Amino acid sequence: MKQPLQKQFAIIMAGGRGERFWPVSRETTPKQLIQLLGDRSLLQETVHRILPVIPAENILVITNQSQLREVRRQLPDLPSSNLIAEPCGRDTCAAITLGAALVANRCPEGVMAVLPADHVISQPKGFQKVLRKSLQLASRKEVLVTIGIPPTGPSTAYGYIRLLRPKSSGGHPSVGSSWVHQVEQFVEKPPLAQARKFIKSGRYRWNAGMFIWSIASIRKALGEHQPEMALAMSRWCEAASSPSRLKKVLAREYPEITRISVDFALMEKAKNVMMAEGEFGWDDLGSWSALARHLKLDDHQNAIMGSCVQVDSHGNILFDARSPRRRAPVALVGVSQMIAVFTDDVCLIADQNKDQQIKELVQSLRQDQSLRHLL
């Protein structure tokens, strides 16, 4: 029996800083709010991707106060009451608890998907199929569903999900054998040698941070593993009947709530976790180097977003985000594996092999009052 559309909800997590995409990503317009690929921001693309599955009135976005104005500008077709700013960041478990409270207030028997705002999915119809099936499963059974991504290599950038070995065959779970599996364990980001073993075993998937469950299931899971959050969910659900009251309650309570990720808080503890196979061309787009996988390359493997002339330059990434009046061709001579990003007020030059250190650069800017305007 299919779950009625009016009982299906989505919570989009859109409060991240996106520091690795500085200088284009800033505090008020981070990665999920900028156009990195095409004419839509990653947040707009996320909403567009789920609209065939979940109606606009049931899509809620949780962001922060500094980004709320831009989120509203980018999503004019969503009710303004569906765009919620956290009073402060308290990690994913608090944000998800808030989302569950809002859904519970509207539909106590509802089922909800929790989705990050900054993923790239090249096969949206495949994603929609998995989302529909996961919503149906979560509506029928008392389970916490997560979506796992078949690894393309031994990455150390992601957490992993270990699948329970099938008892009937004694073999390993494999992509295509079934669309859903029972989860045995969540594993933190591993060192490279361990990641290689994970890939070889065939029992592991990347943890993409996407979850689907019923209100009844998440309420019970919080009660068993995070009683503080369960009590907060009940209070916030009651307060959600009045937006002004909810705002006051959150302002008072949210800064005191435990800061913990949903993985640590729930997923690593719960015994009723199922994983749906995410075979739909997924990328979390975690760095400038990752962006190159989605851009057209020239004959020298350069990924260019802007106007460029080059001589003997290979494997570079150039992204020109300057306003049209300030944009000019960029000339490259004899450079390789370089990142060059231009905005109206700053230019970033970085080694692709060290692009994760851009986050460290942003932290140093935060300590220098004379440079904080660049954040």
Least confident of 64-78, 83-97, 157-171: 157-171
**What average pLDDT score do residues 242-255 get?**
96
Instruction: Please say if the pLDDT value at position 168 is more than 60.
Output: no
Superfamily of domain 5-283: Spore Coat Polysaccharide Biosynthesis Protein SpsA; Chain A (3.90.550.10)
**Nearest residue to 109 (alpha-carbon basis) of 21, 187, 4:** 4
Query: What pTM does this model have?
Result: 0.92
pLDDT band at 167, cuts 50/70/90? Answer: low
**What average pLDDT score do residues 292-321 get?**
93
Per-residue pLDDT, 286: 87
Percent of the chain with pLDDT over 90: 88
Q: Domain spans of the chain?
A: 5-283, 288-374
Instruction: Please say if the pLDDT value at position 172 is more than 60.
Output: no
**What average pLDDT score do residues 274-300 get?**
92
Could you report the per-residue pLDDT of 37-71, keeping only the tens digit for each?
A: 989 999 999 999 999 999 999 999 999 999 999 99
Instruction: Please say if the pLDDT value at position 169 is more than 60.
Output: no
> Using CA atoms, how far apart are residues 158 and 338, in angstroms rounded to an integer?
24
Per-residue pLDDT, 176: 47
Instruction: Please say if the pLDDT value at position 357 is more than 60.
Output: yes
CB atoms within 10 A of CB 239: 19
Could you report the per-residue pLDDT of 98-141, keeping only the tens digit for each?
A: 999 999 999 999 999 999 999 999 999 999 999 999 999 999 99
Instruction: Please say if the pLDDT value at position 81 is more than 60.
Output: yes
Cβ distance 126 to 175 under 8 Å?
no
Cβ distance 102 to 57 under 8 Å?
no
> Using CA atoms, how far apart are residues 249 and 369, in angstroms rounded to an integer?
33
CA distances from 113 to 136, 144, 253, 301 (A): 11, 10, 25, 38
